[in-house]
Amino acid sequence: MKLNNISLKTMKRGLVVLLIAAMLPVAFTQTNSYFEISKNLDIYASLYKELNTYYVDEVQPSDLMRQGIDGMLNSLDPYTSYISEAEIEGYRMQTTGKYGGIGALVRKVDRYITISEPYEGYAANKAGLLAGDKLLKIDGTSVIDKETNDISSLLKGQAGTNTTLLILRTLADGTEKEMEVVVTREDIKIKNVPYYGMINTEIGYIRLSNFTDDAGKEVHDALEDLKSKNPTLKSLVFDLRGNPGGLLAEAVNVSNVFVDKNQEIVSTRGKVNEWDKTFKTLNNAVDTQIPIAVLVNRGSASASEIVAGSLQDLDRAVIVGQRSFGKGLVQTTRNLPYNTKLKITTAKYYTPSGRCIQALDYAHKDENGYAAKTPDSLKVAFKTAGGRTVYDGAGIDPDLEVEGTPVNKITMSLINKNYIFHYATIYRAKNPTIAAAKDFKLSDKDYQDFVAYLNGKEYDYATESEELLKELESTTKDEKYYDAIAAELKKLKDNVMHDKSNDLTKHKEEIKKVLEDEIVSRYYYSTGRIMVSFNYDEDIQTALKVLNNPNQYKQILTAKK
């Protein structure tokens, strides 16, 4: 049956009406949103102008605006931030690992900004600066009582320029001497892989500290070098502890070292559908079979979790340590006027099994402004390639959890009071050389020298028992029972009152480990710290046990949960 012209026109009109009706809610929503944006921008600009014109005291327009911007962004998540023109260099350093400077870590120790570690082979090291050197002046400007942030711009600068440092150095007899040191700044590239080597004849080790440019290449080259120089290499410890993450693309490249090409590593999904992406490996792996124990802890975040999560989902490695941080958000940098930038969270990322490990929900905050944690009851189960159960919502759970031994209060007190740091400085001044990092042991005589060094120094602390008794005393006073138990309470306090000299003996082995770590770093830098940790690090010891037990390793990766 043919439609006549009248009925055809009628149908067309009806279709147009239906289309317009369907579009009205969207159009209205968009128009309303644009109006709200325009309205609030107008209010904000007018308020800003009125404050600047009429406020009783002088205001700095740029400071006022920055506080407004920061306040706005702080209502979202901690990863969305404004980068001013003055902060661009620091941002570039975070993404590239490069900057112009002297190449040294500094920290505040008492009143002084102090060299805590010169980077081996870089400008500060070449100029003879040592860990423990106190900075008095930088190019004639006093830096005593300054904070590390205050002097960062003084130490950094264009490669090839000189900076003159007046330092205070500890000598072998314990006295201090002022010295002037001229350092020629250079381009510093912080390595993503600060160390790799063999723990023993069969097990290799790679530490990855960042995910800046070339992280994947550095891990690739490290494993290739270990394999070529150590034909007895059978397995690998891959250390991601304390790694805060970085470039997502480098997380894919790092995973590609152990996983062959065309394998999905991570996908991202956000508000703008066109930006949703799936990231797959592009190259041939270095080794798809070598057994791997990946170390993670609460400081392993973002790109670290992509690598650990993908290797876990693909049943490619056993994860050892503590639950990771839980950052499943992706940031993109958008250019703004006047050489400024906005780093903005644009998506969430998902590991190959489909899970997002974001631990905090910044879209739902409590009355105090704290983001809500994902409760265990709401975590969703996913399956690895081999059928093992893994969960979303709170970081990467290790396959082998290591609780770790808590550090005793006396050790923490000695660290916090900087006595460990200062003694290492004195030890280095007295002893020009020591044994190799792996072999170095502090003798009993040296330990007694440390105990003598502490004589007369204040490093008091309260044990847990003392704190509990203090709490009990306060409670009994509030509840009017104190008089009845005062005598017994005093006896208890006398019995548990710690003897500092006795605690130095009781916890000798733990304190010696911390001392050895700090002393070794004065001779062998960060490499030495890592190597000496092989002897006592609980995560590493757990990793060695599972790698030395092929049956357990296989069972973990094939067990159904």
How confident is the prediction along the chain (561 residues), in pLDDT tens digits per residue?
Answer: 444 444 444 444 444 444 444 444 545 455 567 788 889 889 988 988 898 889 998 888 888 888 989 988 988 999 999 998 888 878 888 888 888 999 999 999 989 999 999 999 999 999 999 999 999 999 999 999 999 988 888 999 899 999 999 999 999 888 999 999 999 999 998 899 999 999 999 999 999 999 999 999 999 999 999 999 999 999 999 999 999 999 999 999 999 999 999 999 999 999 888 889 999 999 999 999 999 999 999 999 999 999 999 999 999 999 999 999 999 999 999 999 988 999 999 999 999 999 999 988 888 887 777 887 877 777 899 999 999 999 998 899 999 999 988 888 899 999 999 999 999 999 999 999 999 998 999 999 999 999 999 988 887 766 667 677 778 888 888 888 778 888 887 777 666 665 556 888 999 999 999 999 999 999 999 999 999 999 899 999 999 999 999 999 999 999 765
Answer CATH for 195-403 from 3.30.428.10, 3.40.720.10, 3.90.226.10, 2.60.40.3080 = 3.90.226.10
Residues 116, 255, 267, 302: which is the catalytic one? 302
Burial class (CB in 10 A: 0-12, 13-18, 19+), 95: middle
> What Rg value do the Cα atoms of the chain yield, rounded?
30
Q: 523: closest CA among 426, 445, 436, 447?
A: 436
Count of C-beta atoms within a 10 Å radius of residue 117: 20
Catalytic site residue from 133, 214, 239, 313? 313
Cα–Cα separations (whole angstroms), residue 154 to 144, 163, 191: 14, 8, 23
Cα–Cα distance, 517 to 532 (Å, whole number)? 6
Q: Answer yes or no: are the C-beta atoms of 171 and 134 closer than 8 Å.
A: no
Q: Of these residues, 81, 209, 239, 327, which one is catalytic?
A: 327
pLDDT tens string 407-434: 888 999 999 999 999 999 999 999 999 9
Greatest alpha-carbon span in the chain: 111
Taking alpha carbons only, the member of 410, 440, 413, 408 closest to residue 427 is 440
Spatial separation of the C-alpha atoms in residues 282 and 272, rounded to whole Å: 25
**pLDDT digit string (tens) for 355-400?**
999 988 888 887 777 887 877 777 899 999 999 999 998 899 999 9
* 474 classed as catalytic: no
- Give yes or no for a contact between 314 and 259, defined as CB atoms under 8 angstroms apart: yes
Q: Compute the distance between CA of residue 129 and CA of residue 106 in angstroms, rounded to an integer.
A: 12
Where are the chain's structural domains? 98-188, 195-403, 409-461+498-546
Do residues 420 and 515 make contact, with C-beta atoms less than 8 angstroms apart? yes
**CA–CA dist 238, 228 (Å, integer):** 18
Nearest to 244 by CA among 297, 196, 281: 297
User: Is 302 tagged catalytic?
Assistant: yes
Rounded Cα–Cα distance for residues 100 and 367 (Å): 44
Q: If you search the block for the tokens 């509030």, which residue do you land on?
A: 478
234 in catalytic set: no
Phi, psi (rounded to 5 degrees) for 399: -70, -35
CA–CA distance, 285 with 15 (Å, rounded to integer): 56
Beta strand extents in 185-309 (DSSP E only) = 186-189, 195-198, 203-207, 235-239, 264-270, 277-280, 292-296
Sole residue written with tokens 């049943």? 315
Residues 6+ apart with CB under 8 A from 477: none
* Domain 98-188 annotated CATH 3.30.540.10: no
Find where tokens 């170095």 sit.
440
Among 163, 106, 157, which Cα is nearest to 132's? Answer: 106
The residues with which 107 forms a beta bridge, in sequence order, are: 114
